Amino acid sequence: MALQEVCHFYDSVPSSSEHSPVALALEGCCAEYRSAKVGHSLPVFYLPVMKSQPVCQPWKTINLSTMPSSTSSVKSFMLAEESKRPFDLSHGTTTLSFKFQGGVIAAADTRSSCAKKVECPSSQKIIPIHSHLVGTTSGTSADCTLWKRILSYKCRLYQLQNKRTLTVRGTAKLLSGALFPFKGTELCVAATLCGWDHTGPALYYVYSDGTCLEGDLFSVGSGSPYAYSILDREYHFDMSVDEAYCLARRAVYHATHRDAYSGGNVDLYHVTKEGWRKIEDRADYTSLEG
Amino acid sequence: MEYLIGIQGPDFVLVAADTVAASSIIQMKHDYDKMFKLSEKILLLCVGEAGDTVQFAEYIQKNVQLYKMRNGYELSPDAAANFTRKNLADYLRSRTPYHVNLLLAGYDDHDGPALYYMDYLSSLAKAPFAAHGYGAFLTLSILDRYYKPDESVEFILNLPAFNVRLIDKHGIKDLEKLPLATTSTS
């Protein structure tokens, strides 16, 4: 891309596999790699497009002409976006994230609710920002997806202007600072940024009222108290990777069981030194025994 | 509810803050530090509304550090307190007032230790002891009864799960954090 050449800043070519991000500026060019402060490769930015997605995509622009007109779920989703909200938005979600010896885990349910109805049973609540950072979203899903995209572009701009990547701490501060002017308005974004930078695994909680906290374990959303009780009991930093996956899924499941506004399936992402990875396609865990 | 306390001694100031960052009923963090180091011998303790605390305290912190960079010497605690109060006052009648309650504790090489109490209405008072939060209702009367200006450090402070720091002519020192007694889990 032109800006990259002007800034003399070239990304490395990432490995292509089903679940890893595709570099925004690939276009066949594989120029010299300039390393950042640390040894591992720079995060790559991308426009999130994944194969075999469900119809309801909060963050994907829906091209009506290509959508089959009989998809009533799409229509109801679009209606929910366009209306002037004569009703209260209910912010129903369970998302959780924690650090452990093997990286950072982010897990979330997939139910989008609006006006006490389930608008979308299979929405994406974990959004990748760049190859080494994902963010869980809670609050108003439209606000969250918009601000995640804004964060993505701000991170990329910083990377091009300063020839180094923002740490997760810097990204959290950037998001927090961008949201602060909207404090007191109806904007509601409660995100946890889960990433890996040169300091190792990093986890930050950012809320649109201005809170920006660093921690080892966070759960956000209406179902979070239920998830916290499971997590507080079984979490420890030295868990194995399988134990961590199991704990994350179990905590979300218990929250979806009790909380009316959480439900659907469990999305699970694992961030390591090599980047983020979605663990597997959604399976129905509603029958998971506690 | 968040709690701050400061006690001035003959040649030191002792400050403590709780370490909980809560969001309604959930404790998001148990080890949150509410003290902001303005300079080698000045600490700002800040509680109040969620985002306002960090934004305001960091703004004051960076400005105090900038003063030192520009002029080569540090602001005194008195000057820093008045600067903070002025900023609070300027924002008070704007569309975005900062809802923060502060304690500023410092040691001046000429004037000795100083403790300043500030609240969200930008009042400023230099006091021998001060506290913020619901806990203040309980502790202020104890301090009224037992405080003497020439008490030494042993006065204090058997506080579980608090950040306790001491400022004297040598700078800021972290005092030992006494953990909460935990019940054994089954």
CA angle B11, B15, B17 (to 5 degrees): 175
Query: Could you give the C-alpha distances from B79 to A146, A194, B74, B114, B186, in angstroms and in order?
Result: 43, 40, 10, 11, 54
Q: How far is A203 from chain B (nearest CA, A)?
A: 12
The whole-angstrom distance between B65's CA and the closest CA on chain A is 19
Average pLDDT over chain B reads 88
Chain B residues in contact with A213 (beta carbon < 8 A): 21, 28-29, 32
Q: Does residue B69 sit at the A interface (CB-CB below 8 Å)?
A: no
What integer pLDDT is reported at residue A16 of this predicted model? 39
Residues A283, A264 contacting (CB under 8 angstroms): no
CA closest to B56 among chain A residues: A210
Instruction: Verify whether residue A61 is a known catalytic residue.
Output: no
Show the tokens assigned to B86. 């002025």
Say if the Cβ atoms of A210 and B28 lie within 8 Å.
Answer: no
Q: Which tokens hold the place of A244?
A: 């961590």
- Contact at 8 Å (CB) between A133 and A43? yes
**Residue given tokens 């997605």 in the structure block:** A53
What CA dihedral angle connects B52, B56, B59 and B62, to 10 degrees? -110
> Nearest Cβ partner of B54 from A210, A218, A224?
A210
Of A61, A66, A71, A93, catalytic: A93
Question: Structure pTM?
Answer: 0.75
Query: How close, in Å, is residue A270 to chain B by CA atoms?
Result: 22
Per-residue pLDDT tens digits of chain A, which is 290 residues long: 566 666 665 554 343 333 333 333 333 333 333 333 333 455 566 544 444 444 443 443 444 444 444 444 443 333 334 445 555 555 678 999 999 999 999 999 988 887 777 778 888 899 999 999 999 999 888 888 899 999 999 999 999 999 998 999 999 999 999 999 898 888 889 999 999 999 999 999 999 988 899 999 999 998 899 999 999 999 999 999 999 999 999 999 999 998 888 888 899 999 999 999 998 755 555 544 43
Query: What b/e sequence results for B102-127 when a residue is b if at least 16 CB atoms lie within 10 Å of its CB, and e otherwise?
Result: bbbbbbbeeebbbbbbbbbebebeee
> For an interface test with A, which of B2, B19, B28 has the most A Cβ atoms less than 10 Å from its Cβ?
B28
Cα of B116 vs its chain's centroid, Å: 9
Report chain A residues touching chain B, CB-CB < 8 A. 176, 180, 183-184, 205, 207, 209-213, 215, 218, 224-225, 228
Binary contact (B26, A224; C-beta < 8 A): yes
Residue ranges in chain A assigned as alpha helix (H): 2-6, 72-82, 141-162, 168-179, 224-234, 241-258
Which pLDDT score, from 0 to 100, does residue A281 have?
Answer: 52
Would you state the structure tokens that stand for residue B61, as one six-digit string?
């912190």
Euclidean distance between CA atoms A105 and A249, whole angstroms: 10
- Transcribe A142-194 into DSSP letters: HHHHHHHHHHHHHHHHHHHHHSSPPPHHHHHHHHHHHHGGGTTSS--BEEEEE
**Inter-chain touch A176–B51, beta carbons under 8 Å:** yes
Kindly give the parts of chain B with pLDDT less than 50. 182-186
End-to-end CA distance of chain A: 50
Maximum Cα interatomic distance, chain A, rounded to a whole number of Å: 56
Size of interface A-B (CB pairs under 8 A): 38
CB B41 within 8 A of CB B77: yes
Partner residue facing A211 (CB), from B25, B51, B96: B51
AA letter at A259: D
Per-residue pLDDT of A45-68, as tens digits, reads: 654 444 444 444 344 344 444 444
User: Token pair of B84, please?
Assistant: 């903070």
**Surface-to-core class of residue A2, CB atoms within 10 Å of its CB (0-12 exposed, 13-18 middle, 19+ buried):** exposed
CB atoms within 10 A of CB A143: 20
| Substitution target from A97, A187, A211 for chain B, most B beta carbons within 10 A | A211
Nearest CA in chain B to A190: B23
| Inter-residue contact A74 to A55 (CB < 8 Å) | yes
Name the β-bridge partners of A192: A136, A205
Tokens of B123: 């009042």
